[in-house]
Amino acid sequence: MKDITLKEIASKLGISITTVSKALKNYPDVSEKTRNSVLELAKSLHFTPNSFAVNLRTKESKTIGLVIPEVVHHFFSSVINGIIDEAEKHGYLVIIVQSNESLEMEIKQIEMLLNKRVDGILISLSNDSNDDEHIKEIQRRGVPLVLFDKISKLINCSKVIINDQKAASDAVEHLISVGCKKIAHIRGPLNPQNSVDRFLGYKKTLERNNIPFDASLVYTCKGAGFDEGYEFTKQLLNEHPDVDGIFAVTDMVAVGAITYLNEINVKIPEQVKVIGFSNWFMGQVITPKLSTIDQPGYEMGVKSFDLLFEEMQHKSETIFKYKTVELETGIIARESTLGK
Amino acid sequence: MKDITLKEIASKLGISITTVSKALKNYPDVSEKTRNSVLELAKSLHFTPNSFAVNLRTKESKTIGLVIPEVVHHFFSSVINGIIDEAEKHGYLVIIVQSNESLEMEIKQIEMLLNKRVDGILISLSNDSNDDEHIKEIQRRGVPLVLFDKISKLINCSKVIINDQKAASDAVEHLISVGCKKIAHIRGPLNPQNSVDRFLGYKKTLERNNIPFDASLVYTCKGAGFDEGYEFTKQLLNEHPDVDGIFAVTDMVAVGAITYLNEINVKIPEQVKVIGFSNWFMGQVITPKLSTIDQPGYEMGVKSFDLLFEEMQHKSETIFKYKTVELETGIIARESTLGK
DNA sequence: TTGTAGGCGTTATCAG
DNA sequence: CTGATAACGCCTACAA
């Protein structure tokens, strides 16, 4: 199928390419008659401008890049959903790449996006990202950038986050309010800001409530998945048989914990109460239903694109004021802390 | 940040653009000396070819489009994962758009991808897709196309699927083999091929086993989600209190069914056995653990890209032989049919 | 109102 | 071995 070009329309109509172009873009200086004939022919030939040529001229592709640790993940896929929807509303398409929680991959993928000359980049950092040179490179190249969820405080750019410390604090306060005296924390990896913040929220809340912080009650995951939740809970119950509350860094970890507790017939919430983080769907259907922190994934996606969009509009300006948007979280109390 | 171009390198080196271009692309007819100086300068300036210009010249963008009903979906996100990984291996980037199960959206999104001139398109059809004109338009424009999972038999192109009839048959045979006499089916919407096939697999298997097919035991979902599983099971138990097996079109529906059965204290699997379809993670952590059909999502993604890649390589050839790849499924028997 | 000319950055052809 | 020159398809001053 040969592509239709302005040239072709022009020659068929016996007019110049310029006039065709102007007619199609509704320039005022084209006669009604000419415009109509162009519009008509263009329509009947199914003309669509060659985006490669348009990109080259306008230096933009109406495409953004999204770098995410993993697509198969309830929270992230919600964010992706929000980003794609919002981007589409503004006529943007989204290229998605995965870092698989590896810094090396992240660097490589960002390079690909940069070379593809996307108009802007959205990133949720991998757990490995302690080196920020590749992120700064994005800014050096003048490409608008927004970080969301897993951010780095060292990077100066717009961000969309939740207040992990406060959310964690809410979770732990809730456990205390329902009677927990000895609360363990299965935390995320040491590096990512959000797992650090959740840990700090846990620690500070204990202290605020005059419960001495005990480092041996803190278990550190590598990946924060089901298996680690299961295994650390086993270990926890051995080391601290009198534990009565568990704050898990993600719902997946919490579900691992619950699975183990169910297996050894420890009653939830009577003997041990469990709370997770993120409000994955799964938490509603396990037994007992999981209490958790509601983290607005879709909204985070929408907001992230909005900030990026704003920055893309103002690209030429030398001074652009970066914003950090903090989204509200909520606590969802279910059976794993309240009982039936 | 100003972009580096061939022109700039050429002028700094006092040679022609042509020579620079050749040196960078390792053409044989450039002197060792010239090549090295070009390579060196290009590297120190962090030169990367302007992909917009390259696209325009080569008429390809090394980008493919992926049209999917919804991103937030365990099975689809696994497929996406496979596609992105495999595409990346071949130097392709993936633009993802969602149809949200609406034909109108699907048409619109495909148009966007076509206008963006992606090198190929991968589609899992929306439930609404009974009209195939928009799909045929892709082929008319000469854009390579592969359909996966939710396909249409009316479209002549490469496809990656599972044998839904056989998989459904396996599920129902399993229920029968563990003693079910009266098996209900909570099916998917009427239109999509895979829900039709699963229904047919159910029906034929009953007949093959001399169990009369009873249309009143079949409930038809609109969306195949948790709520429908829950509600239809409630209805089912009212209408057929003696039902002893449920084959659900997806794990989500099955989980809805189990949730209701648990609520009214119907014993699973003693009184009613339940089997789902797709092997979502969730099925492993609910009580009882869900028996299901294993559907290889990641592999389906990989294979889909591979077929598309093949077709993109042979784009110029007038006759390209379409392939249909059928992936193996398996049955995973857990507590919801076997007990502990 | 219409058209000419130049350029976006790269690649390919063909002379020198 | 090197370099002019002409595309790719579109956009936009600037002339006419």
Q: What is the DSSP string of B173-224?
A: HHHHHTT-SSEEEEE--SSSHHHHHHHHHHHHHHHHTT----GGGEEE-SS-
Burial group, residue A237, by CB count within 10 angstroms (0-12, 13-18, 19+): buried
Does B318 have pLDDT greater than 70?
no
Which residue carries 């969602």 as its tokens?
B98
Q: Please list, in sequence order, all residues whose beta carbon lies within 8 angstroms of the beta carbon of residue A163, skipping any fewer than 6 positions away.
A: A197, A326, A329
Burial group, residue B210, by CB count within 10 angstroms (0-12, 13-18, 19+): exposed
Helix intervals (H) in chain B: 6-13, 17-24, 32-44, 51-58, 74-89, 103-115, 133-140, 164-177, 193-208, 226-239, 251-263, 297-313, 335-338
Structure tokens at A322: 């970066």
Instruction: Return the residue of B nearest to A256 by Cα.
Output: B285
Which comes out higher in pLDDT, residue A25 or B324?
B324
Q: Cβ contacts (< 8 Å) between A63 and chain B: which residues?
A: 95, 116
Q: What is the biggest distance separating any 2 CA atoms in chain B, rounded to whole angstroms?
A: 89
Q: Output the distance from B42 CA to D2 C1' rounded to whole Å.
A: 19
Average pLDDT over all residues of chain B: 95
Check if residue A81 sits with its Cβ under 7 angstroms from strand D: no
Calculate how close chain B gets to A88, using CA atoms only, in Å.
8
Alpha-carbon distance of B121 to B115, in angstroms, equals 12
Interchain CB distance below 8 Å, A77 and B81: no
Interchain CB distance below 8 Å, B81 and A98: yes
pLDDT computed for residue A318 by the predictor: 67
pLDDT computed for residue B132 by the predictor: 85
pLDDT computed for residue A245 by the predictor: 98
pLDDT computed for residue A193 by the predictor: 94
Structure tokens at A337: 């802390």
CA B100 to chain centre: 14
DSSP E strand boundaries for A90-238: 93-98, 120-123, 145-148, 158-162, 183-187, 218-220
Interchain CB distance below 8 Å, B52 and A48: no
3-class DSSP state of A331: strand
Phi-psi region of A323 (alpha: psi -120 to 50; beta: other; left: phi over 0): beta
Res. B44 pLDDT band, cuts 50 70 90? very high
Write down the pTM of the prediction: 0.95
Alpha-carbon distance of B47 to B190, in angstroms, equals 55
C-alpha distances in Å from residue B325, one per residue of B74, B85, B125: 22, 19, 17
Check if residue A19 sits with its Cβ under 7 angstroms from strand C: yes
Structure tokens at B131: 């009209």
Chain B interface mutation, best of A5, A96, A259, highest count of B Cβ atoms under 10 Å: A96
Alpha-carbon distance of B133 to B124, in angstroms, equals 15
Alpha-carbon distance of A265 to A249, in angstroms, equals 23
3-class DSSP state of B119: coil
Please count the other Cβ atoms lying within 10 Å of the Cβ belonging to residue B138: 23
The residue type at A91: G
> A20 phi and psi, to 5 degrees?
-60, -50
Instruction: Return the residue of A nearest to B225 by Cα.
Output: A281
3-class DSSP state of A279: coil
Q: Please list, in sequence order, all residues whose beta carbon lies within 8 angstroms of the beta carbon of residue B9, skipping any fewer than 6 positions away.
A: B20, B38, B41, B42, B45, B47
Check if residue B56 sits with its Cβ under 7 angstroms from strand D: yes
User: Residue B189, preceding bond cis, omega within 30 degrees?
Assistant: no
Q: For chain A, give me the number of helices (H) and strands (E)?
A: 13, 12
pLDDT computed for residue A32 by the predictor: 86
Does B33 have pLDDT greater than 90?
no
CB-CB contact of A274 with A251 (8 Å): no
Alpha-carbon distance of A225 to A220, in angstroms, equals 11
> B263 phi and psi, to 5 degrees?
-60, -40
Alpha-carbon distance of B261 to B172, in angstroms, equals 19
Q: Of A333, A266, A287, A279, which Cα lies nearest the Cα of B262?
A: A287
Q: Which of A14-28, B135-149, B219-233 has the lowest mean pLDDT?
A: A14-28
Alpha-carbon distance of A54 to A253, in angstroms, equals 48
Phi-psi region of B233 (alpha: psi -120 to 50; beta: other; left: phi over 0): alpha
Of A56, A94, A255, the CB nearest to B52: A56
CA A241 to chain centre: 37
Q: Mean pLDDT per segment of 10 residues, for chain A of length 340 residues?
A: 85 90 87 89 92 95 97 96 97 97 94 96 90 89 95 93 98 98 97 96 98 98 96 98 98 98 97 98 96 98 97 79 96 95
Check if residue A24 sits with its Cβ under 7 angstroms from strand D: yes
Check if residue B220 sits with its Cβ under 7 angstroms from strand D: no
Q: Cβ contacts (< 8 Å) between A50 and chain B: which residues?
A: 56, 117
Please count the other Cβ atoms lying within 10 Å of the Cβ belonging to residue A33: 8
Of B56, B59, B97, the CB nearest to A56: B56
Res. B301 pLDDT band, cuts 50 70 90? very high
Torsion over CA: A70, A74, A75, A80 (sign): positive
User: Residue A269, preceding bond cis, omega within 30 degrees?
Assistant: yes
